[in-house]
Amino acid sequence: MKFTAKQAERYSRQIILKKIGVVGQKKLLKSSVLIVGAGGLGSPIAIYLAAIGIGKIGIIDKDKVETSNLTRQIIFSTDDIQKYKSTASIKKLKKINPDINLLSFNKKLTFQNINNVAKKFDLIVDGSDNFRTRFLINDYCFKNKKILVSGAISKFEGQVYTFNFHNGKSPCLRCFIPTMPEEPDVDNCENEGILGTLGGIIGSIQANEVIKEILQIGESLCGYILIIDGLKCSFRKVKLNKRSDCFCNEK
């Protein structure tokens, strides 16, 4: 693969970085990432991953844009209201970077379709807003030895965790939350509220971790949970070990 003149110019500020270079940028352009949820987290994740040149990006979301989404779902404009989130976000990403391959899935990720949807991608980023989807993605990534970069936001706080299931050493979401919590039918943001900027903080960190995992640079967040308090502006990295009774620990 050879860069076109336009690509060389577009990605020049990354190519100049010693840890990325031509080889790293080509690796990003050859990689594929599925973003689950085009919401408060999915918006900055998608914008950054498209801008930095991930070669293939898929977005899955069943919902349509609502007025109350616009405080944090920055990929959408007011005239996107009532449009499908995945379609509207892909349209925006095409404008940001016409150089990449974009796929939209206007549906809910389920146990029945996850194999078919996710098999086309190397890495999964979880920006979903419910535990059922989080556990579904965790179990799929563990079984299929894929890297999962997950994030969660509520009120003024957020968390980021990376599970790299390539080597069998990573803990999983069930090590952190052994049983799926009961949830009300309404989504978390509607229930508890969320400050718009938290999606930007957590989603940008998720995008950053995705790039690190693809390029194998820096220190992986795998084995830790990053806990961020937006009001205190505190960032804490807490060690997450495998639970001895978790399925990810069975030989």
Residues that bind Zn ion (CB under 5 A): 172, 174-175, 246, 248
Rank residues 84 and 176 by Cβ distance to Zn ion and give the closer one: 176
Q: How far is the CB of 156 from Zn ion (least distance, A)?
A: 28
Smaller CB separation from Zn ion, 38 or 172:
172
For residue 165, the minimal CB distance to Zn ion (Å) is 10
Query: Taking Cα atoms as reference points, which of 165, 52, 58 lies closest to residue 106?
Result: 58
Q: How far is the CB of 149 from Zn ion (least distance, A)?
A: 16
Rounded to a whole number of angstroms, the minimum distance from the CB of residue 208 to Zn ion is 24
- The label of the residue with tokens 């205190």 reads 232
- Amino acid letter for position 159: Q
Minimum gap (Å) between residue 90 Cβ and Zn ion: 33
Cα(208)–Cα(196) distance, integer angstroms: 19
Residue 25 or 162: the one with the smaller Cβ distance to Zn ion is: 162
Q: Closer to Zn ion by CB, 74 or 136: give it.
A: 136
- Residue (of 84, 10, 220) closest to 92 by Cα position: 84
96 burial level (CB within 10 Å; 0-12, 13-18, 19+): middle
Q: Which CB, 205 or 248, lies closer to Zn ion?
A: 248
3-state secondary structure of 8: helix
CB of 64 vs Zn ion, minimal distance in Å: 35
37-68 CB burial, b ≥16 within 10 A, e <16: bbbbbbbbbbbbbbebbbbbbbbbbebbbeee
Which stretch of DSSP H or E encloses residue 213?
Answer: helix 196-215
Rounded to whole angstroms, how far apart are CA atoms 12 and 244?
Answer: 46
**Smaller CB separation from Zn ion, 46 or 225:** 225
Using alpha carbons only, give the angle 25, 165, 220 rounded to the nearest 5 degrees. Answer: 55
Closest to Zn ion by CB, 11 vs 163, is: 163
Are 136 and 111 contacting, i.e. CB atoms less than 8 angstroms apart?
yes
Q: How far is the CB of 134 from Zn ion (least distance, A)?
A: 13
